[in-house]
Amino acid sequence: MKTTSFVDVPAVDQWHIPDDLWASIALLLPEHKNTHRFGGGRPRRSDRKCMEAILFVLRTGCQWKALNATRFVPGSTAHDRFQEWVQAGVFKTLWEAGLLAYDDWKGINWAWQSMDGCMTKAPLGGEKDGQKSNRPGQARSQTQPTGRWERPPDRIGSRGRQQTRWQDGRGDARQYPHRTART
Protein backbone atom coordinates (compact mmCIF):
# COMPACT_ATOMS: atom_id res chain seq x y z
CA MET A 1 0.00 0.00 0.00
CA LYS A 2 1.43 3.34 -1.08
CA THR A 3 1.10 6.37 1.15
CA THR A 4 1.13 9.89 -0.15
CA SER A 5 2.84 12.75 1.55
CA PHE A 6 1.97 16.42 1.46
CA VAL A 7 4.87 16.98 -0.90
CA ASP A 8 3.07 14.98 -3.61
CA VAL A 9 -0.11 17.11 -3.40
CA PRO A 10 0.09 20.26 -5.52
CA ALA A 11 -0.69 23.46 -3.68
CA VAL A 12 -3.77 25.30 -4.88
CA ASP A 13 -3.58 29.07 -4.74
CA GLN A 14 -7.11 30.28 -4.06
CA TRP A 15 -6.15 33.92 -4.67
CA HIS A 16 -4.70 33.37 -8.15
CA ILE A 17 -6.97 34.66 -10.92
CA PRO A 18 -7.34 31.97 -13.62
CA ASP A 19 -6.00 32.86 -17.07
CA ASP A 20 -9.38 32.77 -18.85
CA LEU A 21 -10.95 35.05 -16.21
CA TRP A 22 -7.96 37.39 -16.29
CA ALA A 23 -8.31 37.72 -20.08
CA SER A 24 -11.86 39.02 -19.55
CA ILE A 25 -10.84 41.37 -16.71
CA ALA A 26 -7.82 42.75 -18.59
CA LEU A 27 -10.11 44.01 -21.36
CA LEU A 28 -11.92 46.22 -18.81
CA LEU A 29 -8.80 47.88 -17.40
CA PRO A 30 -7.81 51.34 -18.68
CA GLU A 31 -4.52 51.70 -20.52
CA HIS A 32 -1.79 53.15 -18.30
CA LYS A 33 -0.04 56.30 -19.51
CA ASN A 34 3.33 57.11 -18.00
CA THR A 35 3.05 60.60 -16.51
CA HIS A 36 6.64 60.81 -15.29
CA ARG A 37 8.20 64.02 -16.58
CA PHE A 38 11.23 62.18 -18.02
CA GLY A 39 9.29 59.13 -19.17
CA GLY A 40 10.95 56.90 -16.58
CA GLY A 41 10.20 56.15 -12.98
CA ARG A 42 9.85 52.91 -11.10
CA PRO A 43 8.45 50.05 -13.21
CA ARG A 44 4.71 49.60 -12.74
CA ARG A 45 3.57 46.53 -10.83
CA SER A 46 1.57 43.90 -12.68
CA ASP A 47 -2.14 44.69 -13.02
CA ARG A 48 -2.91 41.04 -12.35
CA LYS A 49 -1.00 41.01 -9.04
CA CYS A 50 -2.70 44.27 -8.03
CA MET A 51 -6.14 42.85 -8.84
CA GLU A 52 -5.36 39.72 -6.81
CA ALA A 53 -4.29 41.92 -3.88
CA ILE A 54 -7.44 44.08 -4.16
CA LEU A 55 -9.70 41.03 -4.24
CA PHE A 56 -7.80 39.63 -1.24
CA VAL A 57 -8.50 42.82 0.76
CA LEU A 58 -12.15 42.96 -0.32
CA ARG A 59 -12.76 39.30 0.51
CA THR A 60 -10.87 39.05 3.81
CA GLY A 61 -11.49 42.57 5.12
CA CYS A 62 -7.85 43.05 6.07
CA GLN A 63 -6.26 46.49 6.05
CA TRP A 64 -4.37 47.71 3.01
CA LYS A 65 -1.11 47.94 4.96
CA ALA A 66 -1.45 44.27 5.94
CA LEU A 67 -0.70 43.40 2.30
CA ASN A 68 2.94 44.22 3.01
CA ALA A 69 3.20 40.90 4.88
CA THR A 70 1.66 38.86 2.04
CA ARG A 71 2.91 37.66 -1.32
CA PHE A 72 0.97 40.39 -3.10
CA VAL A 73 2.03 43.91 -3.94
CA PRO A 74 2.60 46.51 -1.18
CA GLY A 75 -0.55 47.91 0.39
CA SER A 76 -0.01 51.46 -0.87
CA THR A 77 0.38 50.19 -4.44
CA ALA A 78 -2.79 48.11 -4.24
CA HIS A 79 -4.74 50.98 -2.68
CA ASP A 80 -3.54 53.46 -5.30
CA ARG A 81 -4.52 51.07 -8.09
CA PHE A 82 -7.88 50.41 -6.42
CA GLN A 83 -8.63 54.15 -6.31
CA GLU A 84 -7.48 54.57 -9.90
CA TRP A 85 -9.74 51.74 -11.09
CA VAL A 86 -12.72 52.88 -9.03
CA GLN A 87 -12.44 56.33 -10.59
CA ALA A 88 -12.24 54.74 -14.05
CA GLY A 89 -15.38 52.65 -13.32
CA VAL A 90 -13.62 49.29 -13.64
CA PHE A 91 -15.39 47.61 -10.72
CA LYS A 92 -18.84 48.81 -11.78
CA THR A 93 -18.23 47.50 -15.30
CA LEU A 94 -16.85 44.25 -13.87
CA TRP A 95 -19.96 43.87 -11.69
CA GLU A 96 -22.28 44.51 -14.66
CA ALA A 97 -20.36 42.03 -16.83
CA GLY A 98 -20.54 39.44 -14.06
CA LEU A 99 -24.30 39.90 -13.72
CA LEU A 100 -24.84 39.53 -17.44
CA ALA A 101 -22.62 36.43 -17.58
CA TYR A 102 -24.53 34.85 -14.69
CA ASP A 103 -27.82 35.78 -16.38
CA ASP A 104 -26.68 33.93 -19.53
CA TRP A 105 -25.43 30.95 -17.52
CA LYS A 106 -28.16 30.42 -14.90
CA GLY A 107 -30.66 33.19 -15.50
CA ILE A 108 -31.71 36.01 -13.19
CA ASN A 109 -35.33 36.73 -12.40
CA TRP A 110 -35.15 40.50 -12.93
CA ALA A 111 -38.80 40.96 -11.88
CA TRP A 112 -38.11 40.01 -8.26
CA GLN A 113 -35.12 41.17 -6.27
CA SER A 114 -34.35 41.54 -2.60
CA MET A 115 -31.66 43.11 -0.51
CA ASP A 116 -30.33 41.82 2.74
CA GLY A 117 -28.43 43.66 5.40
CA CYS A 118 -27.47 43.50 9.01
CA MET A 119 -26.82 46.23 11.55
CA THR A 120 -24.98 45.24 14.68
CA LYS A 121 -23.35 47.05 17.55
CA ALA A 122 -19.66 47.69 17.17
CA PRO A 123 -17.68 45.49 19.59
CA LEU A 124 -15.83 48.48 21.06
CA GLY A 125 -18.60 51.00 20.52
CA GLY A 126 -18.95 52.05 24.13
CA GLU A 127 -22.08 52.36 26.22
CA LYS A 128 -25.60 52.85 24.89
CA ASP A 129 -25.53 56.59 25.70
CA GLY A 130 -22.11 57.01 24.10
CA GLN A 131 -18.78 57.14 25.75
CA LYS A 132 -18.20 59.68 28.46
CA SER A 133 -15.65 62.35 27.76
CA ASN A 134 -12.30 62.03 29.49
CA ARG A 135 -11.72 65.78 29.30
CA PRO A 136 -12.28 67.93 32.35
CA GLY A 137 -15.37 70.12 32.13
CA GLN A 138 -15.14 73.82 31.45
CA ALA A 139 -15.12 76.21 34.39
CA ARG A 140 -18.17 78.03 33.03
CA SER A 141 -21.24 76.63 31.35
CA GLN A 142 -20.31 78.50 28.18
CA THR A 143 -17.09 79.90 26.87
CA GLN A 144 -16.89 83.65 26.49
CA PRO A 145 -16.61 85.13 23.00
CA THR A 146 -13.22 86.57 22.12
CA GLY A 147 -12.63 90.10 23.34
CA ARG A 148 -15.06 89.98 26.29
CA TRP A 149 -14.05 89.89 29.91
CA GLU A 150 -15.50 87.37 32.28
CA ARG A 151 -17.79 88.72 34.94
CA PRO A 152 -16.48 87.99 38.44
CA PRO A 153 -18.77 85.78 40.52
CA ASP A 154 -21.06 87.43 43.07
CA ARG A 155 -20.11 85.06 45.84
CA ILE A 156 -17.09 82.89 46.37
CA GLY A 157 -17.80 79.28 45.42
CA SER A 158 -21.01 79.97 43.49
CA ARG A 159 -19.19 80.46 40.17
CA GLY A 160 -21.67 83.18 39.25
CA ARG A 161 -24.66 80.88 38.84
CA GLN A 162 -28.05 81.36 40.38
CA GLN A 163 -29.23 78.88 42.94
CA THR A 164 -31.89 76.43 41.89
CA ARG A 165 -35.34 76.50 43.45
CA TRP A 166 -34.51 73.52 45.61
CA GLN A 167 -31.27 75.08 46.85
CA ASP A 168 -32.88 78.32 48.02
CA GLY A 169 -35.91 76.58 49.55
CA ARG A 170 -38.50 77.37 46.91
CA GLY A 171 -40.13 74.41 45.27
CA ASP A 172 -42.89 73.98 42.76
CA ALA A 173 -45.53 72.21 44.82
CA ARG A 174 -47.93 72.02 41.88
CA GLN A 175 -45.54 70.05 39.70
CA TYR A 176 -44.06 67.83 42.44
CA PRO A 177 -46.62 67.52 45.26
CA HIS A 178 -44.79 64.62 46.93
CA ARG A 179 -41.62 66.70 47.41
CA THR A 180 -41.23 69.13 50.21
CA ALA A 181 -39.18 72.25 49.99
CA ARG A 182 -35.86 72.10 51.77
CA THR A 183 -35.31 74.75 54.41
pLDDT tens track for 27-39: 989 888 877 777 7
3-state secondary structure of 18: coil
Q: How far is CA 76 from CA 43, 63, 166, in A?
A: 15, 11, 62
Q: How far apart are CA 87 and CA 74, in angstroms?
A: 20
Q: Return all residues near 149 (Cβ < 8 A) that are at least 6 apart.
A: none
Task: Say if pTM beats, i.e. exceeds, 0.95.
Answer: no
pLDDT tens track for 137-164: 555 555 555 655 555 555 555 555 666 6
Q: What angle do CA 23, 25, 53 make, to 5 degrees?
A: 110
pLDDT tens track for 50-77: 999 999 999 888 899 998 888 889 999 9
Q: How far apart are CA 181 and CA 183, in angstroms?
A: 6
Count each helix (H run) and each strand (E run) in the chain, helices first: 4, 0
